[in-house]
Amino acid sequence: MPDARLCLEALSVLSGCNVEPTDGPSQLSPQDFVNIVALKEFYKQEGFKELEYPSLGTLSLQDQDDQDMYSAPPALTEGASTAGPEQSLRTTMKINPKDFFHPQYDYDFTNIKDGNTKFLRGNEPYVRPCGWTRVALQVLQRYDGGDGWLGTGRDAWPVSYHGQHMDGSLGIILTRGEGPGDEPSFLEAAAASLVTKETRGRGVYSTPDVRMAEKYCRKFKSKVDGKMYKVLLQNRINPERRKTCQREDTWLVYVPEGRNDVQTRAIVQESIRPYGLLLKLV
């Protein structure tokens, strides 16, 4: 596993919070973390300034990393008090690396090239994150129904990648005809009068292609080793919950209008499950 301090820096960059180590229980689970990352991006696209999240309170959506996206938070050491004025405005979350990460399942894809080799997850293509290092998250036996969603068989959920800046600009939902033999039809984005509530693409975006996600990822300069990194989340997505968008290799977890914060959070939690933090040297 890479240095735990580097991993916490990456979590800070993804969440826009100060992620600090603790010897006690983690304040959040990996599922809570992906909820926050996804919901912050969703509510920002909806025009909100704040997000309420249980156990953390009010989170600002004015991401400080938008001002200086290449700067990691201050040194992540227990009891550190070196935060500047910008970092001090962030919410702080406490993470215990021992119960948040799962080093047994880390995987270094840095020098792997798959070429034409095909991989499947949930009987769907799996584009492995070649060139990246995967830091595994502690998610086994955390969900009702067992761990089949994380497997390699037909019942497993497909893999998706979440890039920080993936939002509604990526396209609208693909609509299908009523009959079983009907071909898919696309709504033109310019035809605004034809875009209905069900096709506007309101929700959380991800992609099965790590190369596409990389275009929307965060970058940061680590205070641990002084190097530049890219960071992504690797997830599994519920195949019954996603919708396909007009843009190729884009999936949407749709959030209907009128859903409150609790209902929106439940939609994300039932749809996307994280299992890897991806790091790549720039």
What is the predicted pLDDT for the residue at 188? 44
H helix or E strand, kind and range, residue 33: helix 30-45
What is the predicted pLDDT for the residue at 89? 65
Q: Residue 280 pLDDT > 70, yes or no?
A: yes
Q: Which residues contact 26 (CB under 8 A, 6 or more apart)?
A: 94, 95, 96, 99, 100
What is the predicted pLDDT for the residue at 23? 96
Q: How far apart (Å, rounded) are the C-alpha atoms in residues 17 and 40? A: 11
Q: List pLDDT tens digits, range 158-200.
A: 999 997 777 656 656 654 433 344 444 444 443 443 445 455 5
What is the predicted pLDDT for the residue at 76? 42
What is the predicted pLDDT for the residue at 63? 56
Give the start-end residues of each E strand in the chain. 18-21, 50-53, 57-60, 92-95, 107-108, 120-121, 124-125, 133-136, 159-162, 203-206, 218-221, 228-237, 242-244, 251-254, 272-281
Q: List pLDDT tens digits, range 15-60.
A: 989 999 999 999 999 999 999 999 988 888 888 888 899 988 888 8
Q: How far apart (Å, rounded) are the C-alpha atoms in residues 124 and 121? A: 5
Name the percent of the chain lying above pLDDT 90.
60
Strand partners, 230: 219, 280
Q: How far apart (Å, rounded) are the C-alpha atoms in residues 248 and 119? A: 19
Q: Which residues contact 211 (CB under 8 A, 6 or more apart)?
A: 127
Name the percent of the chain lying above pLDDT 70.
78
What tokens does 186 get? Answer: 């696309």
Q: How far apart (Å, rounded) are the C-alpha atoms in residues 15 and 90? A: 10
The confidence band for 244, taking pLDDT boundaries of 50, 70 and 90, is confident
Q: How far apart (Å, rounded) are the C-alpha atoms in residues 1 and 265? A: 30
Q: List pLDDT tens digits, range 100-110.
A: 999 999 999 99
Q: Which amino acid is at 66?
A: D
The confidence band for 223, taking pLDDT boundaries of 50, 70 and 90, is very high
Q: Which amino acid is at 118?
A: K
> Largest alpha-carbon pair distance within the chain?
63
Q: How far apart (Å, rounded) are the C-alpha atoms in residues 234 and 10? A: 13
What tokens does 136 get? Answer: 């595994």
What domain range is 187 assigned to?
4-281
User: Which is higher by pLDDT, 218 or 79?
Assistant: 218
Cβ–Cβ < 8 Å for 220, 13: yes
Q: In the chain, how many domains are there?
A: 1
Q: Residue 240 pLDDT > 90, yes or no?
A: yes
Q: Say if strands 92-95 and 18-21 run parallel, antiparallel, or are unpaired.
A: parallel
What is the predicted pLDDT for the residue at 219? 94
Cβ–Cβ < 8 Å for 214, 1: no
Given phi > 0 = left and psi -120 to 50 = alpha, else beta, which region is 160? beta
The confidence band for 245, taking pLDDT boundaries of 50, 70 and 90, is confident
Cβ–Cβ < 8 Å for 235, 272: yes
